[in-house]
Amino acid sequence: MSLQSINLYNLLAKKKLFKKKVNFSLKRIKEALIKLNNPEKKLNKVVNIIGSDGKYSVLTYLKFFIEADGLKTSAFISPSIKSIKERFWIGDRFLTYYEIKKSISDIEKLKIPLTIFEVLTLIFILNASKQNNDFNLIEAGALFEKDSTNLFAFPFAQVVVNINKQHLNFLKRKTIDEIIKQKVGSLSQFTKLYIAEQKPHILRKIKKRLKNNLSYKIYSNSWRLRRLNKGLVYYDKKNRINVRTKNIHSEGLKKNLALAIKIALDIGIKPKVIERTIPKIKLQARVEFIDKGKLVKKLYKAEQIIIDGCHSEISGENFANYLKTINKTKYGIIGMSKNKDPFKFTKKFKGIFEKVIIVPIGPGSESINPNILKKALIFNGIKSESSKNLNEAFRKISSKESKLICVFGSLYLCGNFLNEN
């Protein structure tokens, strides 16, 4: 994370009114919105994106498709990768640091105790409401029932991406049933609901939870993404779209692309617009190959870097499965947040790496105890050692040998890498 971003987060943390600790409730943010004359009511065509894995990729795909059709979007993205500015896309640019500071000052004047995520949500709403953009794409936080983004009774659409056992640390009842209740139990009764492909037992529970929901529901059996003549083709009952891309690699990211194509078609975007836009899409820190930068220049020509912010079992499995398709010696550089499960996560990478180097995820974020991460790697039969930082980790790995160096385990670590590179 950039120094300016760290300073802004520190500024938020130092404010007595703003609390870093998560405290799910809609009461505080609704009170703030009333004092601000309900700016959320000015937002056109809100699309909520909810779930455990895949929110960012679906949002990014939709943003590309909508803007390629000549329309304008605002987007609330969580978390940011390199800079806090990346959380707030308004029309055709990210907010400036000055605009973010100004919004923080305006929110502080309300004298309402808020969580930092509530403040970030308000920063987006305040600035997006000043524009008349066609669509507002809003990524939910950890849950949704009492998430500060659950403010719209009549959204244009709500999208449920993959649901899994992430965010258990926020729940008293640490079960998948409780996660599903929190994420889909309070969806709008007056919209279109798009449900991404899920594991069968998860899908059964989602359908049961949505049984009495009055919204029109579109499940993943409404579209398909299939290989045809060495290429990918999206199709549904009415459309067929060739999917040509060199930037979208893992199966999970491709499934999310198919979901976004379906939504874009329903919005009214023509298949030709979607087809010619797909090759232009690039996802930050999601199975992303890095071929330029300061850190890259220090490597030998036969060495290649890939970064992925995967941090859950599902996203880890998607990344691991993609790595298995690459016939190259692999080394890892891993960092994880302290609230993640390193044992279940690193199990997905058994047999992939020659060695993994453990590093802190970067300034402004709380890393897992490296000894716990080392125990998890040893438990799963993965050789490892620790380094103080990314530069030291690269020095330990780099040699003339042809190899793929994988930076993974945390979006914050990937952001730290991108800032140092």
Tens of pLDDT, residue by residue over 59-102, are: 999 999 999 999 999 999 988 888 899 999 999 999 999 999 99
- Judge contact between 345 and 311, C-beta under 8 A: yes
pLDDT tens digits, 188-221: 999 999 999 999 999 999 999 999 999 999 999 9
Both 317 and 385 in one domain: the answer is: yes
The number of angstroms, rounded, from the C-alpha of 388 to the middle of its chain's C-alpha atoms is 27
Count of domains forming the chain: 2
Tell me, what amino acid is at 116? I
pLDDT, position 78: 86
Task: Please check the confidence at residue 157 and state whether its pLDDT lies above 90.
Answer: yes
User: Do 220 and 132 belong together in one domain?
Assistant: yes
Decide if pLDDT at 159 tops 80: yes
Shared domain for 370 and 410, answered yes or no, is yes
Predicted confidence (pLDDT) at residue 385 exceeds the cutoff of 70 = yes
Percent of the chain scored above 70 by pLDDT?
98
Answer yes or no: do 244 and 172 share one domain: yes
Structure tokens at 279: 């090759």
Q: What pLDDT was estimated at residue 106? A: 95
C-alpha–C-alpha distance, residues 33 and 35, integer Å: 5
In this structure, are 274 and 334 located in the same domain?
no
pLDDT band at 314 (very low <50, low <70, confident <90, very high): very high
Domain that holds residue 293: 288-420
Q: 216-219 and 192-195: which strand pairing? A: parallel
Within this chain, do residues 293 and 259 fall inside the same structural domain, yes or no? no
Please check whether residue 356 is in contact with residue 350, taking contact to mean a CB–CB distance below 8 angstroms. Answer: no
Closest CA to 345 of 377, 312, 369: 312
Q: Is the pLDDT at 9 greater than 90, yes or no?
A: no
> Per-residue pLDDT averaged across 357-384, rounded?
93
In this predicted structure, the answer to whether residue 3 has a pLDDT above a threshold of 60 is no
pLDDT at 8 over 80: no
Average pLDDT over every residue of 104-133: 95
Mark whether 39 and 187 lie in a shared domain.
Answer: yes
Instruction: Say whether both 329 and 402 belong to one domain.
Output: yes
pLDDT at 324 over 60: yes
Length reported for the chain: 421
State the CATH number of the domain containing residue 359. 3.90.190.20
Does 27 share its domain with 168?
Answer: yes
Q: Are residues 127 and 231 in the same domain?
A: yes
pLDDT of residue 173: 84
Q: Quick one: 211 and 88 in the same domain?
A: yes
Residue ending a domain, among 210, 245, 280, is 280
Q: Is the peptide bond before 39 cis (omega within 30 degrees of 0)?
A: no
Note whether 214 and 190 are within 8 A (CB): yes
- Angle subtended at Cα 170 by Cα 166 and Cα 172, rounded to the nearest 5 degrees: 110
pLDDT-based confidence at residue 5 (cuts at 50, 70, 90): low
Distances in Å between the Cα of 395 and the Cα atoms of 67, 121, 296, 388, 415 are 42, 40, 12, 12, 19
Non-local CB neighbours of 194 within 8 Å, separated by 6+ positions: 157, 158, 159, 160, 218, 259, 262, 263
Q: Which of 242, 257, 280 is the last residue of a domain?
A: 280
Domain end position, chosen among 224, 245, 280: 280
Average pLDDT of the residues of the chain: 94
Model pLDDT for residues 279-311, shown as the tens digit of each residue: 999 999 999 999 999 999 999 999 999 999 999
Three-state DSSP at 12 gives helix
- 176 in the same domain as 229: yes
pLDDT at 1: 59
pLDDT band at 349 (very low <50, low <70, confident <90, very high): very high
Q: What CATH number is attached to the domain comprising 66?
A: 3.40.1190.10
CA distances from 82 to 100, 139, 219, 247, 334 (A): 16, 17, 34, 19, 17
- Share above pLDDT 90 across residues of the chain, in percent, rounded to a whole number: 86
Q: Which residue has the higher pLDDT, 336 or 227?
A: 336
